[in-house]
Amino acid sequence: MRYLVLAAALLVPVAAPAATPTADWPCIQRLQPRLSLGQAWTGPTPAEGAAIPPETAALAERLVQRRMGLDEAEAEIAAFAATTDAAGLALLMQAVFRRIDTQRATIIQGISRYGHAQVALAEQVETRRRRMAELEAADPPDFDAIDAEERALDIDMRVFTERQHSLTYVCESPVILEQRLFALGRAIAAHLP
């Protein structure tokens, strides 16, 4: 009986994503699969079809790395800004944006798969719970089968619970990338003439 109550309690968090735009999105944050450059950049629009110079692309690659602190990133942006014009800064922002948006989209796809796995595991928990109820109602009860099902149910519920606890961290990953994008956008825009 305690498993019935616990299984029901565990299924509640899985139902919460129904309020979001898609049923396979398990996060509290609203799903926005892609960003647009205009959300993070108010500077000039990069010239259409303009190639990003290799040194600009290399700087963008370093800037998007989260292990680089924002102070260090701002110093590198300032050094770069001293050698370029507004068009060069726009290309840098475009390169930064493309990298972060691509990383973010990949993470969002992974979160969606994570959500699907949680829904499937919740369904498995529910199936095991029903099977336990059937085994307990049998006359005479098969105690070995009940014990085996109880162990399997316990493992599934423990995995489900641990994944639910990890979900908060997993869902923060796109937000962290967005925050870095906006911070880098402000740092680059600060050097516009």
Residue 18 vs residue 58, higher pLDDT: 58
Q: Which residues contact 122 (CB under 8 A, 6 or more apart)?
A: 10, 11, 14, 160
Q: Which residues contact 11 (CB under 8 A, 6 or more apart)?
A: 122, 125, 126
Q: pLDDT confidence of 168, banded at 50, 70, 90?
A: confident
Q: pLDDT confidence of 169, banded at 50, 70, 90?
A: confident
* The length of the chain, given as a count of residues: 193
Average pLDDT across the chain, whole number? 85
Q: pLDDT confidence of 3, banded at 50, 70, 90?
A: very low
Reading the block at residue 151, the tokens are 């162990």
Least reliable range by pLDDT among 9-13, 76-80, 138-142, 150-154: 9-13
Residue 188 vs residue 141, higher pLDDT: 188
Average pLDDT over residues 22-51: 85
Per-residue pLDDT at 64 exceeds 50: yes
The 10s digit of each residue's pLDDT in 78-118 is 999 999 999 999 999 999 999 999 999 999 999 999 888 88
Q: What is the pLDDT of residue 22?
A: 58
Tokens 């990890």 belong to residue: 166
Comparing C-alpha atoms, which of 72, 84, 85 is closest to residue 184?
Answer: 72
